[in-house]
Amino acid sequence: MAVSPKLLEILRCPECVRESDDAGELTLVKGVWLVCQTCERKYPIRDDIPVMLIDEGTRWQNTPVAALPDTPPEPAS
């Protein structure tokens, strides 16, 4: 099961939306990543659930989209 298009329309990057309601639009990448078009944070989707924690998105922020794994690894402990 993938992220529904309706959910993708309303989800926004939690860091960027603090600054502006119009910021933080997300794009689905590889079917398992939500990439913020404003700040480039990357939020994994695990077990069909988007992990929208700022720390998790920041963890992947400097990783190029092409270098993102096809399956998000488990959270850092």
Rounded Cα gap, residues 64 and 77, in angstroms:
23
CATH architecture of 5-67: Single Sheet (2.20)
State pTM to two decimals. Answer: 0.89
Q: Average pLDDT for residues 50-77, to the nearest whole number?
A: 92
Model confidence over 14-53: pLDDT tens digits? Answer: 999 988 777 899 999 999 999 999 999 999 999 889 999 9
Residue 54 near residue 14 (C-beta atoms within 8 A): yes
Burial class (CB in 10 A: 0-12, 13-18, 19+), 73: exposed
